[in-house]
Amino acid sequence: MARGITETDVHTAADELVAVGERPTVERIRAHLGTGSPNTVTRHLDTWWQGLGRRLHMQQVRLAVPDAPEVVTALAGEWWERALAAARIECAQALAIERSTLLQDQEALNEERARLADETSALRAELDAARHSLQVAQVQATEQQRLIDQLQRQSGELAQQRDMALARSKELEVAREALQGHLQRAEDSPAQSVKASLSTFARQKTGPMPRSIVCAKKQKSFRPSSLR
C-alpha cells in the first residue's frame, strides 16, 4: 500500500460511487481509490452507512420547499423512509457478503499458514536428520582413517621385521657355510693322518693300533648328521 487511507477518503469515494449510480462496496471503493486494505475500507464504509441517514435527512431539510402542500411533504417523507429502509437492507446484505468473503479469505490464509508451518517443520526435521547423518559419517570416516593409520604402522613394522629376518637368515647361511667348510677341513685332516698311520702299522705288523687312528675314527663317527 503506497499510503494509508483515511475515513474521509472512503466516505468521499462512496459518495462519488453513489453519484454515478453504483452501490458502494469494499472492492469498488478500493478500485476507485487505487489502494486500501479490505479491513480498513470495511471499517470506514461502516461509518459511512451509519451516517448516511443523517446526511440524507439534512439534505432533505435543505431541499424542502416551505410552500409545498402538507400532503406532498408527507408523501415525499414516506417515500424517503422507504428508500432509506431499502438502502439499509441492501447495505446490510452487501456488508454480509463482504464479511463472508473476508472470512473465507481469512480461513484460506490460515490454512495456507498452517500448510507452510507443516512444511517448515518437515524441512527442519529433514535438516536435523541430514546433520545427524553427516555427524555419523564424520565419526565413521575418522574411525576408518584411524584403522588405516594403524594398518600402515603394522605394515611398516612387519616389513622391518621381514628385513631383519632376511638379514639374519643371510648371516646364518654364511655361518652355516663357514661351519661346513671348517668341519670339512677338520674331516679331511684326520683322514690323511689315519692313512699314514695305517701305512706305518702295516709295515711294522706288530704292536697296538696307534692312538691317532683311534681318535680319527672317533672324530669320523662324531660327524653331525646334517653335514654327512
Residue 21 per-residue DSSP state = T
Read off the pLDDT of residues 138-166 as tens digits, 9 standing for 90 and up: 999 999 999 999 999 998 999 899 999 89
Read off the pLDDT of residues 26-48 as tens digits, 9 standing for 90 and up: 999 999 998 888 899 999 999 98
210 neighbors 197 (Cβ within 8 angstroms): yes
Q: Which of 76-85, 207-216, 219-228 has the lowest mean pLDDT?
A: 219-228
**Which helix (H) or strand (E) element contains residue 25?**
none
Contacts of 53 by beta carbon, 8 Å cutoff, 6+ apart? 84, 88
How far apart are the two ends of the chain, measured CA to CA in Å?
116
Q: How far apart are CA 14 and CA 18, in angstroms?
A: 6
Q: How far apart are CA 47 and CA 133, in angstroms?
A: 61
